[in-house]
Chains A and B, each alone.
Chain A
């Protein structure tokens, strides 16, 4: 269980990015955090990852307080952030340096097959497409089998088709070991496709605004009316979080425009 208790972050310049954010996340749950820009989504994720310390509140994973990067927590960034001097296989095995070589090779080979890049094992990162590179990043983060995987707008730099592909692929990989996923996104579609729970945040200061449970069986049909219904609920919550009334909302966005900027 991942417990966020009253997390707050005030930057040295006085900006109050995040205020008293609390939520409990079950093991194996997929939670999407969505909100307008400046609502502290990424700040929150970096605090969970132990990359930046929160100014108040605590993150605990299975009773252990997290204040620095932890073995059980993996993170995937918006950019793949592969190490350009390592082959694809070595990038995936980067977090396994303590394992004996043969075990490492085995795990890497498995992961490569799992993300469908076996033929790219010896390629350099620069030779990959954006989608392939992000798949390597996902494999790298998953291969040490983290209990929690954090994703910071992982697919936002990809084209719409690749993005859908990778969303489905991520769910597929998730089903292998069922880690907890905490996903920060701008994309309502993505949140509803992936998450068990969508947390809508409001900006200035960043705060939890509304929590929407997505009670839809997987795999989810992006074109079903139920799916649309959930999307509309998330969009409505987003609009209200920004103090826009629903009636005034941009008709395009209520019609289910995928991107939320």
Chain B
């Protein structure tokens, strides 16, 4: 007996779900994650002759840097020329100085470690719970009917609304912070996994049936690889939300962490420190997102073939 995978569920369309998710998470993701389009990039490269192609490959990222670097430079010059005091918007060198100072005193490492630990724990919990429940709901009709309405209802509550309750239940220390992050990560992962399983091509599942795959073999050889691309997207969206919620959690009271640096900077009037924390958030957020991308790339190589195909045809 093969799994019942339905691709025609009209009430829950997976693509629209994930699209929805991405737009709600858009604000965070804009900073922490830019979804690159390897297919389009590659097609672009292959259609060009080699020498100009190489130049373009180098020039394209540079083009993206032009605006932020140009703005930073312009601001630096303005402040240096005395056109602005740069008190509320410190120039790049000031921000860099602040980062170096924090790094030298060992403060920075402590804050980064605290934040990373929270994100890692919350992300891990959220991913495990979201994957398990999402898989159960996607795979098993009865479970979806039972579980999904409740999860969807909970999802409709802005996650920050849980904060007071989490603090009452779990205290003001790590547990409540990690719970909040996990809650934020849970929903996109749950929806991503469930939607991906529901949208697995029934025709491909039938191929598995004709080769008489057992239940576990069907999961391992058909469902998992089919679900993986959407799962990676869900993980990346989840991670973006994890970074958003760690800031929320740390703003609400913490003695260390990058969010604490933000709050401390505000209360003591140190805009350079706030900007330094923001820059570090951006760097670490982008790095962790990139790590997911790198770690999963070997399994998704088959998707990149699109670029080569259009080049060969």
Contact = CB atoms under 8 A, between A and B. Distances in A.
A4 interface: no
Nearest to A77: B203
A97 B217 CA distance: 10
B201 to A, nearest CB: 8
Interface centre among B210, B225, B305, B306 (most CB of A within 10 A): B210
B311 to A, nearest CB: 10
Given A127-B308, A127-B312, A81 B207 contact: yes
A83 B203 contact: no
B169 interface: no
A28 interface: no
Interface in B200-223: 203-204, 206-207, 209-212, 217, 221-222
B210 A51 contact: yes
Contacts of A68: 212
Give the one of A70, A83, A125 with max B CB within 10 A: A83
A75 interface: yes
A124 B302 contact: yes
Given A83-B204, A85-B225, A85-B302, A49 B309 contact: no
**Max count, chain A CB within 10 A of own CB: residue among B207, B217, B221:** B207
A72 to B, nearest CB: 11
Given A77-B203, A81-B203, A85-B225, A126 B305 contact: yes
Nearest to B205: A81
Interface string A76-99: 010101011110000000110100
A71 interface: yes
A69 interface: yes
A218 to B, nearest CB: 28
Interface residues of B, number: 22
Interface in B223-261: 225-226, 228
A95 B302 contact: no
Contacts of A83: 204, 207, 222, 225
B309 A75 contact: no
A74 interface: yes
A81 B305 contact: no
Given A83-B204, A85-B302, A126-B302, A75 B210 contact: yes
A96 B90 CA distance: 66
Nearest to B226: A85
A71 B212 CA distance: 8
Interface string B173-217: 000000000000000000000000000000110110111100001
B206 A51 contact: yes
Contacts of B308: 127
A69 B211 contact: yes
A75 B212 CA distance: 12
B312 A79 contact: no
Interface string B117-132: 0000000000000000
A95 B306 CA distance: 26
B209 A51 contact: yes
B204 A69 contact: no
A74 B209 CA distance: 11
Contacts of B211: 69, 94-95
Contacts of B312: 127
Nearest to A129: B313
Contact of B210 (A74, A79, A97, A126): A74
A49 B225 contact: no
Contacts of B221: 94, 97
Interface of B: 203-204, 206-207, 209-212, 217, 221-222, 225-226, 228, 299, 302-303, 305-306, 308-309, 312
25 contacts: A51-B210, A69-B209, A69-B211, A69-B212, A70-B212, A71-B212, A74-B210, A75-B210, A77-B203, A77-B206, A81-B203, A81-B204, A83-B207, A84-B302, A84-B303, A85-B302, A86-B225, A94-B211, A95-B211, A124-B302, A126-B302, A126-B305, A126-B306, A126-B309, A127-B312
Given A51-B209, A51-B210, A124-B305, 13 more contacts: A68-B212, A69-B210, A71-B212, A81-B204, A83-B225, A84-B302, A85-B299, A86-B225, A94-B207, A94-B211, A97-B217, A97-B221, A127-B305
Give 10 closest A-B pairs by Cβ, nearest first. A124-B305, A85-B225, A95-B211, A85-B302, A127-B309, A126-B305, A124-B302, A69-B210, A81-B207, A69-B212
